[in-house]
A and B are shown apart, each in its own frame.
Chain A
């Protein structure tokens, strides 16, 4: 199954979705939006982190599941990267807290990466290169976010919380091997948050065509050209999911039939988990995949850039799915909360203490 030309793969993966959900229509009602707004972008509900959760705690859970599935000694992990746009500290790495809490050795590279929603996938690309060069045996790449949205902004319907983690290592230990990886990035003013600002802003007219669609289409076409692969060679295609509609639309533009894109879509039920978005979709696919299947994953981050990554599933995937909670189990585990509880959990209510 694992051809010798592939040297690096995914040894373990993990997911985390907080238990709390708020219905998108409840947010819409709060601000007087028409109900059709939520239907037009296909968002049902979104996951909300509890008051004692953040990027570090969610990233820890996903990473621990990746280690449980991989069954490796934490001391052999030589790099830990956290891709996030909701760092609990402006200065002080999240990655070192997660690494220490998991018992990963001090002898490692470790940093937080920021590139809107695709810093986690850049962490995967860096880990692949480190493993391939022999610099480290395993690299841990985490995408985790408690995404902020200005209350009343249309982004509030989707901006949610979640995490995904991938342990990258030698191909012969992997559940899926990396076949081909490319990245396409430019300077695009589609979405940003200034230092010290609580909420992001978006450049009207830039978010769709010039940002999401242009970058994903360019990255995937580059991968097809370089690898000689065609959409028909893939069993599944997973894209970044700012909402439920965009991934289906970009799949259509690239020639992927709906049935290859739908299985990797998670946003309508958990919201846009930013750095975890496409990576949770990939985790869900891996958990339902068969050895020999080929998966395309294309994360996108504003600013802007997209990755296109092709992986081939090995027979090791089957024995590792059950060792930690699956994406489907995490989606099914939920408690509904009101807008008021959501506002309390996400620190939108300001009160004097003492």
Chain B
């Protein structure tokens, strides 16, 4: 499986930023940019850029090879509860498998998702690392 240049480019803003949707009626916060609040159905919503900080609440380790990202294996796929409230899926990088622990504070950083070496495109997007500034 390769990334599609056109699909990736159209969704660029969602690879470079984390957005959440805050409801003006029930006050709850949902992941991603949404037109309607998934909890109460209200259209009175606001899109907010997450600061990118949160807590690792669970994870799994993937050995699945995708074209252009073989050198990053194995990959840790985590569930991150953002400080803004919602839980999102994200790759956790810069960690050893034996030191991974639930409850770790993480921050979003720009990294390579895949790289079609040596002639293709490099796909960048956000992953998570343990916070640098404790």
The yes or no verdict on A and B being binding partners is: yes
Q: Given the complex, which residues of B lie within 8 Å of A103, measured CB to CB?
A: 16-17, 49
Q: Given the complex, which residues of A lie within 8 Å of B122, measured CB to CB?
A: 54, 56, 88-89
Tell me if A330 counts as interface (CB < 8 A to partner B): yes
Structural contact, B96 and A57, CB atoms closer than 8 A: no
Q: Given the complex, which residues of A lie within 8 Å of B132, measured CB to CB?
A: 325, 329-330, 333
Bound form: Cα–Cα A54–B124 in Å? 10
Closest to B17 in A: A103
Q: Given the complex, which residues of A lie within 8 Å of B12, measured CB to CB?
A: 100
Structural contact, A57 and B110, CB atoms closer than 8 A: yes
Bound form: Cα–Cα A101–B17 in Å? 7
Chain A contributes a number of interface residues (CB within 8 A of B) equal to 25
Q: Which of B24-78 contact A (CB under 8 A)?
A: 49, 65, 70-72
Looking at the assembled complex, report how far the CB atom of B81 sits from the nearest CB atom of chain A, in whole angstroms: 22
Partner of B94, one of A50, A88, A100, A330: A50
C-beta contact mask, A320-339 vs B, less than 8 Å → 1, else 0? 00001100011001010000
Given A101-B124, A353-B70, A52–B133 Cβ distance below 8 Å?
Answer: no
Tell me if B79 counts as interface (CB < 8 A to partner A): no
Bound form: Cα–Cα A103–B124 in Å? 14
C-beta contact mask, A219-248 vs B, less than 8 Å → 1, else 0? 000000000000000000000000000000
Q: Given the complex, which residues of B lie within 8 Å of A329, measured CB to CB?
A: 132-133
Structural contact, A52 and B16, CB atoms closer than 8 A: no
Structural contact, B124 and A97, CB atoms closer than 8 A: yes
Q: Which interface residue of B71, B72, B93 has the most chain A CB atoms within 10 A?
A: B71
Q: List 19 A-B contacts (CB under 8 A).
A: A50-B94, A50-B111, A51-B72, A52-B72, A52-B111, A52-B113, A52-B127, A56-B110, A57-B111, A60-B110, A88-B122, A101-B110, A103-B17, A325-B132, A329-B132, A329-B133, A330-B132, A333-B132, A344-B71
